[in-house]
Amino acid sequence: MYDPKLYREACGYFLRPHTKKIINYYSNLLNWNQNENILEIGCGDGSTTIEVLVDLISKNVSNFNYLATDLLQPMINLAKNDYFHERVQFKQADILDEELWLNYKECFTKIFSILCFMVVPNPTIWVKNIYNVLKQNGQIFLILTSTNPMMKQHLSLSQQEKWSKYQKSNLFLSDYFLSDNPTSWITQHLKNGGFKDIQQYEIVYDTNLKDFKSAMQFVKAFTSLNENIPEELKDEYLNEMCENIEKEVLNDEKYSYISYDFITARK
Ligand SMILES: C[S@@+](CC[C@H](N)C(=O)[O-])C[C@H]1O[C@@H](n2cnc3c(N)ncnc32)[C@H](O)[C@@H]1O
């Protein structure tokens, strides 16, 4: 799905700085308690967890526990290896695992998830799981990206005859990306799952992926883009993607923009 080390590097180009700006800008929407028990879903390599989220929480809460989870053991290994914080535990866990999360019923006061739910299928299951593990009146904070140059190209190439036969089961998994209106798609799922006081904001920034080289440096971390493609064609797929990004940006400089959905809600 990801190369963890390359992901950490790629994330530093714009994803982590953008996330930091968004979290800090909307931090007034967070109502802190003296004691917080916090869950993060899809923490990845741990850099955003420690450098952005835990950094903010430490400035606002004196007593907190933080459970940072991710589907991929290699991501958790990298996080554990490079980041130690006495209040943070990194753990491999799948948010779609219904049995596991029964053990955490109404445990958490806040749930964070950054750039994760757009790659998780079965929204009914993950919405149910996060609802059940949240305490009454607890808050969720989610950031997703609905459109960016890499995904625009991935969706477009995956429809071409040459690539469609390999990519049928690999569209980055969530219908969020395929929806005409991703923001209302996700808020509707949250509403159906029982969440209230839903607020959502769309934020647009520039990725600066404007030429072949910068695009390639970024996309090669996302191994799920071409994981179903035969080994000998993988490079060709990524080359085509990055050449197209460069061409599209020459036509329209806004092609390199990335759009984020920031969503908060309460149980
Ligand atoms: C784009 S990365 C974001 C990582 C990190 N939050 C950040 O902001 O850099 C998405 C993460 O979601 C994780 N993920 C995907 N499906 C998941 C699932 N079913 N349960 C938990 N984590 C999942 C992936 O392993 C990956 O680390």
Q: For residues 217 and 246, give the distance between their C-alpha atoms in angstroms, rounded to a whole number.
A: 13
User: Per the structure, how many domains does the chain have?
Assistant: 1
Residue nearest to atom 24 of ligand 1 (CA): 42
Structural domain contains residue 224:
no
Residue 178 pLDDT = 82
**pLDDT score recorded for residue 38:** 98
Question: Whose Cα sits closest to atom 8 in ligand 1?
Answer: 114
Kindly give the number of the ligand 1 atom that is closest to the alpha carbon of 120.
16
- pLDDT (average), residues 3-27: 92
For residue 126, the ligand 1 atom closest to its alpha carbon is 19
Q: Residue 145 and residue 117: Cα distance in Å, rounded?
A: 9
Q: Tell me how far apart the alpha carbons of residues 168 and 155 are, in angstroms, rounded to a whole number.
A: 11
159 located within any domain: no
List beta partners, residue 114.
143
Specify the CATH number for the domain of residue 82: 3.40.50.150
CA of 240 to the centre of ligand 1 (A): 26
pLDDT, residue 171, reads 53
Determine the distance separating the centroid of ligand 1 and the alpha carbon of 69, expressed in angstroms.
9
Residue with CA nearest ligand 1 atom 11: 42
pLDDT at 3: 84
**Domain extent at residue 55:** 4-146+173-207+258-266
pLDDT at position 172: 58
Identify whether 71 is part of a domain: yes
Residue 8 CA: nearest ligand 1 atom is: 9
Using the mean position of ligand 1's atoms as its centre, give its distance from the Cα of residue 103 in Å.
21
> Of the given ranges (95-109, 134-148, 150-164), which has the lowest mean pLDDT?
150-164
Closest ligand 1 atom number to CA of residue 114? 6
Q: Quick check: is 246 in a domain?
A: no
pLDDT of residue 226: 86
- pTM, whole model, 2 decimals? 0.95
Residue 107 lies in a domain: yes
User: Residues lining ligand 1, CB < 6 A?
Assistant: 1-2, 11, 15, 19, 41-44, 48, 70-72, 75, 94-96, 114-116, 119-120
Q: Is residue 8 part of a domain?
A: yes
Residue 72: inside a domain: yes
In a domain? residue 162: no
pLDDT tens digit string along 169-221? 655 568 888 888 999 999 999 999 999 999 999 999 999 999 999 999 999 98
